[in-house]
Structure 1
Amino acid sequence: MAFYDLAKQERDVLVKQIQEVILKEITAVNHLPILPYFSDEDTYIRKTAYLAIGKIYKMHIGQLPNIIKLLNELFVHDDFKVRQTVVNAAGEIGKSDFMAVQSFFDQGLLDEHHAVRNAVIGSVKKMGEVNPTPVLAWAATYLQHPDKEIRREICHGIELRGRKHPQDILPMLKQLQFDPTKRVSSTLVHVIGQIAYKKGCLATVIADLKTWQNKELVDQAILEIIDVHERYKDFAVLSQQEAIDYISKHF
């Protein structure tokens, strides 16, 4: 039965059960009792498992070496869902201690399965929001990577930090302004649009774009910013017309 087919009380019991099993088996030689949760077809069961890792890490900080050992052993599993769950679990730890789990993201970026690479993007987003200094420093080392997909994934991964602190990621985005790959430049334009409609961000983004040299890409970004203010009008601080007026006055 899927996670959300269960009643609320039953879900609470299952969450507690998964956490207890993982804590009990985390020091075991054989991790077979844990594997079904990491490989479950239901994404919410897998989410419960990686959130349990995060809770155990916070409540039992001394178990970190055992947690890392467990994740390393599971990370070589043939099932991409297991590797995906490992990356997400590492992301929960990386919110506080990125250096302890950095290797999972170095490897995850190169994984053959897109679901694992997407887990890297999602984890970078959640870690970068609350633990930006080491996460962004790590991400910056991949901005000029020869693999275009890695450059695109890093660009996408740092987006969430930019929604509240655009000044933290704009210098990184600027390094991609002449990227020759369409998928990278399209993601770059998308990310600029996503950070520009948040409270207090438009002025910062526009001021920075004025210093960019790739005028064609900047024009695309401006159009995206204007369009985003309409597409997300229920969430944008400014109306589309107010955004247009600001851009017209300051750009």
Structure 2
Amino acid sequence: MAKFYDLNKDERLILTAKISDAILADLRTLEIENILNYFADDDDTYIRKTAYLTIGKIWKKNENLRPTILDTLQKLFDSVDEKVRQTTINAAGEIGMSDFKTVVQFFDQGLFDNHHIVRNAVIGSVKKMGEKNPNPTLIWAKKYLHHPDKEIRREICHGIELRGRTHPQDILPLLKELQNDETARVKNTLIHVIGQIAYKKGCLQIVVDHLNTWENQAIITKALDEIVDVHHRYKDFAILTTQQAIDYIDKYAQVRNNIIQ
């Protein structure tokens, strides 16, 4: 069978409609076979993507099917197949962009899944939910910032990044809570996220102003270095040139003991 993107546009539309019709039929008849087959597709990640996007669309258009969708997703999330659990998390993420509280239990469980592709799906879902439905998503994320498991802290830090690219003020208070984390992987992710949000339009000033309220000078210094480096690496996409970023940081970053010269 040809992969999704081996098909031409018209063929992809036909296949998408076929997947949608099959999933809708399953939901209406309280079956699961078609949904399970698409969620578990071994050969093509885009088939799985089409399936979870379809769940999101059906959720929006068919309020009467929402209880069935939730029951079905819970059954799928109990699968021993990590791809099925991954796709279930992604489907929950589509729902969570408008109705986070309804699907929060999937992310509470998925954060602790024993397979990395499921945990990565949580990160991806938190990114898109944080962008489209930030308030409940960030409130949920905050409760995991100081979790004993360093991977949970790192995943949460990474997951809130996308919201920060347009609204850095929303996530900087959460990032600040991680400034004294002693785990290298968490610190590296924290620095990475700061760099990724600071080169976007209107963000550098907000980020630098907020870093001026932090206490951990070593982290501040590394974050500022990362900001400059990102402006250089992404020079074709950054709003400011590397030199403009350096000049701004030199003028406004209030790091004590002359760390920034």
Among 116, 119, 122, the residue aligned to 1:117: 119
Q: Does 1:34 align with 2:35?
A: yes
Residue in 1 that maps onto 2:17: 16
Among 219, 222, 231, the residue aligned to 1:220: 222
For residues 246 and 221 of structure 1, the distance between their equivalents in structure 2, rounded to whole angstroms, comes to: 14
Matching of residues 126-205 of structure 1 within 5 Å: 126-205=128-207
Q: Deviations over 1:156-201 (max 9, x none)?
A: 0000000010000000000000101000000000000000000000
Residue in 2 that maps onto 1:239: 241
Q: Tell me by how many angstroms 1:223 deviates.
A: 0.3
SS at match of 1:163: helix
Q: Tell me by how many angstroms 1:230 deviates.
A: 0.6
For residues 247 and 30 of structure 1, the distance between their equivalents in structure 2, rounded to whole angstroms, comes to: 58
Specify the code of the residue in structure 1 equivalent to 2:24: L
Specify the code of the residue in structure 2 equivalent to 1:215: Q
Specify the code of the residue in structure 2 equivalent to 1:153: E
Residue in 1 that maps onto 2:89: 87
Specify the code of the residue in structure 2 equivalent to 1:47: K
For residues 195 and 33 of structure 1, the distance between their equivalents in structure 2, rounded to whole angstroms, comes to: 40
SS at match of 1:95: helix
Q: Equivalent pairs: percent with the same residue?
A: 63
Specify the code of the residue in structure 1 equivalent to 2:65: Q
Among 225, 228, 231, the residue aligned to 1:229: 231
For residues 60 and 27 of structure 1, the distance between their equivalents in structure 2, rounded to whole angstroms, comes to: 10
User: TM-score, length-normalised on structure 2?
Assistant: 0.95
Specify the code of the residue in structure 2 equivalent to 1:120: V
Q: Structure 1: which 5+ runs fail to align? A: none
For residues 167 and 232 of structure 1, the distance between their equivalents in structure 2, rounded to whole angstroms, comes to: 22
Residue in 2 that maps onto 1:104: 106
For residues 83 and 210 of structure 1, the distance between their equivalents in structure 2, rounded to whole angstroms, comes to: 42
* Contact persistence 2:130–2:160 (CA under 8 A): yes
Q: Tell me by how many angstroms 1:51 deviates.
A: 0.3
Specify the code of the residue in structure 1 equivalent to 2:224: I
SS at match of 2:207: helix
Q: Structure 2: which 5+ runs fail to align? A: 254-261
Q: Deviations over 1:131-152 (max 9, x none)?
A: 0000000000000001000000
For residues 5 and 221 of structure 2, the distance between their equivalents in structure 1, rounded to whole angstroms, comes to: 45
Q: Does 1:25 align with 2:26?
A: yes
SS at match of 1:112: coil
Specify the code of the residue in structure 1 equivalent to 2:192: H
Q: Tell me by how many angstroms 1:27 deviates.
A: 4.0
For residues 28 and 175 of structure 2, the distance between their equivalents in structure 1, rounded to whole angstroms, comes to: 42
For residues 59 and 27 of structure 1, the distance between their equivalents in structure 2, rounded to whole angstroms, comes to: 13
Q: Tell me by how many angstroms 1:29 deviates.
A: 4.2
Moved beyond 3 Å, runs of 4+: 27-30
Specify the code of the residue in structure 2 equivalent to 1:142: Y
How big is the alpha-carbon RMSD for the aligned residues of Structure 1 and Structure 2? 0.8
Residue in 1 that maps onto 2:50: 48
Of 59-68 and 235-244, the range deviating more from structure 2: 59-68
Specify the code of the residue in structure 2 equivalent to 1:225: I
* Contact persistence 2:30–2:68 (CA under 8 A): no
